[in-house]
A = this chain, B = another copy of it.
Amino acid sequence: MSLDGLTGGLSSWSTDPAELARASADRSGGVPVGTPRLVVFAKSVVEVQRTVAHAAAHGVPVVPRGAGSGVAGGALAGDGSIVLDLSGLDRITELRPDEALAVVEPGVVTADLDAAASAHGLRYAPDPASAAFSTIGGNIATNAGGLRCVKYGVTRDAVLGLDVVLGDGSLVSTGRRTVKGVTGYDLTGLVVGSEGTLGVVVGATLRLSPLPVRTATAGAFFATAEDAVAAVTALQRAGVRPSTAELLDGPTLRAVDQAQGGDLHRRGEVFLLLQTDGFGAEQELAEAARVVRPLATALETTTDPEVAARLVATRRAALPAIERHGRVLIEDVAVPRGRIAETIRAIGGIAEATGVRIFVFAHVGDGNLHPIVLAGSAPPERVERAVAAIFEQALAVGGTLTGEHGVGALKRPWLAAELGEPVLELHRRIKAVFDPAGVLNPGKAIG
């Protein structure tokens, strides 16, 4: 392929080795095989279309890229590929408070949209931990989750419609501007979570939701993960719908203490952050406290924003506290809610058996666990064995490899074990419908 035929029509691109190296990596720590040939900094939808069409005509892989904040290797760009950097398409093109709706370009940073909405008493409900730097386009690619999802749903639930450049460079619009609608198949939901393998998202119509009028917060400590999970189950039985339910296991809590010079782990082995919101936030938290107290070793409830911020900060500190100990692999399994406690215990067993240090924090209300594996804590083959054992555990209890981060490049080896060959074959044929030349992020998501 001659690059001239493409780059002549583009406003910004680079073949500089340093730029190419930067554009080929993401936050997964995965190492791309080889080097991309070009990075395109897209400034318009037409430039995206031109790039994809050119790549399709020449059979060259295109790797779409937002902030490069993915942790599953979805944006790793290998030999000879074109990186399509969408971070420059970063305008909020519409914000309609009375319709609780926003239309955005893919490079908008998630927290920026949320801030713009909050000026009108609204918010963008999905709140991945990466919200401060990840883009809406990346969130859509992975169907990103976050702390509020337990009550307010994941990215897919917030996406009403998409503008998508297909594998032949053509542009289509899916979905709608209405809250409900069943004309045609749910192509919008199909593209969400497809990690850039079905099309390049160049625009998104998103639903916003009212900011909660009140929030109440609790920090609870438990002797065991079993007790903490029993508390979460008891909440559901009592009709409590927490807006946040986050668990930190023993190793994670100790890492946070070490980082902050605190002694939270003296209150209990496992930490649970709970929040309720809405007009009855205090009453709902009081009921939560009544249910949780008999199971807890310590419990603190508050409506004071500063105290609440301190409790939330304990959860937010988890990953940075672990990362102080070295490079990490951020895993993301999800299991049925009845199997959470045994899975946390099993991961403890895997750590012990392999000698690999593993920390677990979890969106426990959703059964979504983040086992954080300290890559340098044991020889590579033992780290690999530990990661494989975590996946095997999740699948053995009816769970999934990934709750919200995506398969990317790194989890492909386990894909068939979860989906089975006939369903995987359906995936390949669907991809062929959207991307006949097979140039959109090949080797990702569906292998």
Q: Do A178 and B403 touch across chains, with their CB atoms under 8 A apart? A: yes
A183 contacts partner chain B, Cβ-Cβ < 8 Å:
yes
Q: Do A172 and B368 touch across chains, with their CB atoms under 8 A apart? A: no
* A and B contact pairs by CB, cutoff 8 A, 26 listed: A96-B338, A99-B336, A100-B236, A121-B237, A170-B422, A176-B398, A178-B367, A178-B399, A180-B404, A182-B193, A182-B406, A183-B400, A183-B402, A183-B411, A183-B419, A184-B407, A184-B415, A184-B418, A184-B427, A185-B427, A185-B430, A187-B423, A189-B190, A210-B240, A211-B239, A430-B433
A280 contacts partner chain B, Cβ-Cβ < 8 Å:
yes
Taking a contact as CB atoms closer than 8 A, the residue among B209, B210, B400, B420 that contacts A181 in the complex is B400
Q: Which of A23-31, A151-159, A291-299, A322-330 contacts B (4 or more CB under 8 A)?
A: A151-159
Contacts A210-B240, A422-B170 given; does A415 touch B183 at CB 8 Å: yes
A213 contacts partner chain B, Cβ-Cβ < 8 Å:
yes
A91 contacts partner chain B, Cβ-Cβ < 8 Å:
no
A446 CB contacts on chain B under 8 angstroms: 184-185
A178 CB contacts on chain B under 8 angstroms: 334-336, 366-368, 398-400, 403
A89 contacts partner chain B, Cβ-Cβ < 8 Å:
no
A50 CB contacts on chain B under 8 angstroms: none
- Bound-state CA distance A209–B178 (Å) is 25
Given contacts A181-B334, A185-B198, 7 further A-B contacts (CB under 8 A): A121-B239, A172-B420, A180-B363, A180-B403, A180-B404, A213-B287, A430-B433
Nearest Cβ on chain B to A428's Cβ, whole angstroms: 9
Q: Do B101 and A183 touch across chains, with their CB atoms under 8 A apart? A: no
A434 CB contacts on chain B under 8 angstroms: 426
A142 contacts partner chain B, Cβ-Cβ < 8 Å:
yes
A93 contacts partner chain B, Cβ-Cβ < 8 Å:
no
Nearest Cβ on chain B to A79's Cβ, whole angstroms: 26
